[in-house]
Amino acid sequence: MGLESIELILDVEDVFGINLPDTEVERVRTVGQLCNLIRQHVGTNHNSAFISSESVCCLNEDCGYCLNTLPAQGMCPECGQSYNINVSVEEIVTELLVENFDIKREAISMESRFIEDLNF
């Protein structure tokens, strides 16, 4: 992965409240692989049935309720919007790529390769 990808990893670590070892990041080639890596780390410190990161918040921007200590799937207790953290990892990563790196949403799939397809 290129230089900019380091920034991406920092963003990802920040959003999910995790620390990704360089040796594991080096092996990531596609968006899907990054999402899998994130899931492994989000699940390691805590019961995987529960959202572990304080930084994983409700996707409703007006709400932003932190969903930690709640089951991985359910309804936001604050605004009632349903969430599923298994879907949200992909959603959040896609959102990061669109917002922070100016990549078109339609260009991003789980098979997208960072260097070859997304020009990292």
List residues binding Zn ion (CB under 5 A). Answer: 58, 60, 63, 65, 76, 78-79
Nearest-approach distance from CB 15 to Zn ion, in angstroms: 17
Our CB check for Zn ion shows the closer of 50 and 65 to be 65
Our CB check for Zn ion shows the closer of 63 and 96 to be 63
For residues 29 and 113, what is the distance between their CA atoms, to the nearest angstrom? 5
Nearest-approach distance from CB 82 to Zn ion, in angstroms: 10
Our CB check for Zn ion shows the closer of 1 and 70 to be 70
List strand residue ranges (DSSP E) for the chain, in order. 73-75, 82-84
Nearest-approach distance from CB 61 to Zn ion, in angstroms: 9
Nearest-approach distance from CB 66 to Zn ion, in angstroms: 10
For residues 114 and 89, what is the distance between their CA atoms, to the nearest angstrom? 17
Our CB check for Zn ion shows the closer of 4 and 95 to be 95
* DSSP annotation string for 11-29: HHHHHHT----HHHHTT--
Residues 6+ apart with CB under 8 A from 55: 14, 15, 16, 17, 66
